Chains A and B, each alone.
Chain A
């Protein structure tokens, strides 16, 4: 009985459920506020993401003509569930991960990709032209950043000699991998920006060309869930960066400081850059991103990190 209760709490409240959602909204607000201040705007009040979500959940969900109903309703749920599940293997709020098994790093990364995949499918599912173009771009972008992103995340795994998140984190808490693997750190940060489709990698949802990209036909609950999923991904990505590259996470205060640091970098980069065309994005990732990640691997091997 207590075991069941524990599982339920893990799933619904901490770390995967409500806590993560609240965390995601808060970080989303910080990102928006930072970008706004950097752009000399006022920015939203702290409850804005929550208000947006509540409003969207209360809105009518319009089912457009010509879509597969089950896919249309199911994809946002699967996407958000995928993003939430990853929290089970990560030290959210500085507490030890709830679960773990050898190879959970790969599972985590692919759970994160599920949201993007769902986004692409959701776009392709509707008949809207903007959605179709958006879906094509989303999936194209997935294939461009995913490999370098994964390669860069495997850098710490190689150094630690394990593909289990808790092992890598144990190894990383002794060493600041930011100092020994700086190239990997850069690739991961930029990869996360690609994953979250924020400037300069926002071609899949470039509003001046294709309105809202794959999400153009979504309204109400579906849109809210997709948005929440993306915000959760931001938190998960930041947690992974902090745990891997910034000397591990030991307590809640550590967690806040170390996840806000990469968020600051992301907000800064977001402010400075122009949107890239999708062909430029792909070219950049395969020409430089993948190469940099491989150089990092080579360096790890040369320095004898691979055990």
Chain B
């Protein structure tokens, strides 16, 4: 180990193992004192090969596999998949099932945003807010458990409908829980907008204006905090959102504070929406008949996950297994913006800016090869293996000698 000759470069690595990130991702920040000069992002530590695995499972089995892409927004993955497959199979899902899908999706959004609030507060060193928001998150987890029997992978969807109904007693439980959560969310909104010390860490930090946000293709609450009016629930309504539109939430300042406010206000919108859905649950069966083989064709389905637009491409060759499924999770669109946002910021603000986009790494890792000349390119197992050896070999030897 020889001392670095380039004295100006002092790189602070965050990840793949680092207390700021609970999932593996690597960020290298070159700092001058406390100020970040440049940043690079590296992904791919948690590639699980799920897309490939779907090709050897039936349509029904894939539902359970795809739900496990993300441990936080599991329901929305299953919903996106179901919507796509149902479109291909030309199956009409009963309205009550659509409403329940939306209901669970909004409950999931609440739990995801509360989780994010805690994580973001922890990154800022505000552990009290972290503990309180995660305590309150238990309420929505309990509701989800009462509704579906599971806290995380609710498995509420089936192809052609949903598994679980909402009866009056459950509706009452949900309303009761929502009242409590609404009170708490309003309190947290007050805390993040009025607490002087916390504002010092959020106001004017990591500012991304609307043009920059549009350019870097930022989506979801991160984009909406910068005034990007993009929300799949409104732009291209699915399930119950077509009949009952949800109130959109936008902010324009684009700093960390705006990202807090957008997510908290989205929770408030979700509370209202769930109450409205419970009042207007249509009467219909929960499922419809679904063929075992899905007609040949391609479908695209887009839904609004808690972190932004979730995109599914599904191709069927007419058999009982898909030909190809491609998933693009919202983190992939947002993560590149971190590398731009942190430049010129303090090292201390880096974890908050990073968490500000609500990254979810494991959902994110995908291998795509795009050949520009339109030629088909076949990667054999041996070629992949050799590629891995070369790739990691050079990386590791560089790390050791630095």
A interface residues with partner B (beta carbon < 8 Å): 38-41, 65-66, 127, 129-130, 132-133, 199-200, 202-203, 206-211, 271-280
Residues of chain B with a CB closer than 8 A to A65's CB: 1
Contact across chains for B346 and A274 when beta carbons are under 8 A apart: no
Assuming the contacts A200-B197, A211-B18, asked whether A279 and B127 have C-beta atoms less than 8 A apart, the reply is: no
Residue pair B349, A277 in contact (C-beta under 8 Å): yes
**Residue of B with least CB distance to A137:** B34
Q: Are A202 and B125 in contact (CB under 8 A)?
A: yes
Question: In the complex, are the beta carbons of B351 and A208 less than 8 A apart?
Answer: yes
- How many residue pairs at the A-B interface have CB separations less than 8 Å? 79
Residues of chain A with a CB closer than 8 A to B121's CB: 274
* Nearest opposing residue in chain A for B131, CB measure: A39
Complex formed: what's the CA distance from A38 to B122 in Å? 16
**B side interface size, CB within 8 A:** 33
Taking the complex as formed, is B13 at the interface, i.e. its CB lies under 8 A from any CB of chain A? yes
Given A199-B127, A208-B123, decide whether A278 and B19 contact each other with a Cβ distance below 8 A: no
Residues in chain A near residue B351, CB distance under 8 A: 208-209
> Please, which residues of chain B bring their CB within 8 A of the CB of A199?
125, 127
- Nearest CB on A from B256, distance (A): 12
Closest 5 CB pairs of A and B: A275-B125, A39-B131, A274-B126, A208-B20, A277-B348
Nearest neighbor of B129 in chain A, beta-carbon distance: A274
Instruction: List A contacts of B132 (CB < 8 A).
Output: 39-40
Which residues of A are found within 8 Å of B186, using beta-carbon distances?
A: none
* A277-B252 Cα distance, complex, nearest whole Å: 25
A200 to B19 alpha-carbon distance, docked (Å): 19
**A274-B201, A277-B348, A279-B346 are contacts. A208–B127 as well, Cβ < 8 Å?**
no
Q: Mark B210-241, 1 if CB is under 8 A from A, else 0.
A: 00000000000000000000000000000000
Q: Are B12 and A206 in contact (CB under 8 A)?
A: no
Other CB < 8 Å A-B pairs besides A274-B125, A274-B126, A277-B349, 10 of them? A66-B1, A129-B10, A133-B12, A199-B127, A203-B348, A209-B20, A274-B124, A274-B200, A275-B201, A277-B348
Q: Are B197 and A209 in contact (CB under 8 A)?
A: no
Q: In the complex the two chains form, is B135's CB within 8 Å of A274's CB?
A: no
- Please determine whether B347 and A209 come into contact, CB atoms closer than 8 angstroms: yes
Whether the pair A273, B197 counts as a contact (CB closer than 8 A) is: yes
| B11 in the interface (beta carbon within 8 A) | yes
A202 to B347, alpha carbons, bound, how many Å? 14
| Cβ A209 vs Cβ B350 within 8 A | yes
State in angstroms the CA–CA spacing of A10 and B127 once bound together: 40
A254 and B348 CA atoms in complex are apart in Å by 42
Smallest CB gap from A271: residue in B: B128
B125 close to A208 (CB less than 8 A): yes
User: Given known contacts A39-B132, A207-B19, A271-B128, is B197 in contact with A278 (CB within 8 Å)?
Assistant: no
The 8 Å CB contact of A272, one of B12, B125, B128, is B128
Complex CA distance for A40 and B127, rounded to whole angstroms = 11
Interface presence of B64 (CB below 8 A): no
Query: Closest approach, in angstroms, between the C-beta of B351 and any C-beta of chain A?
Result: 4
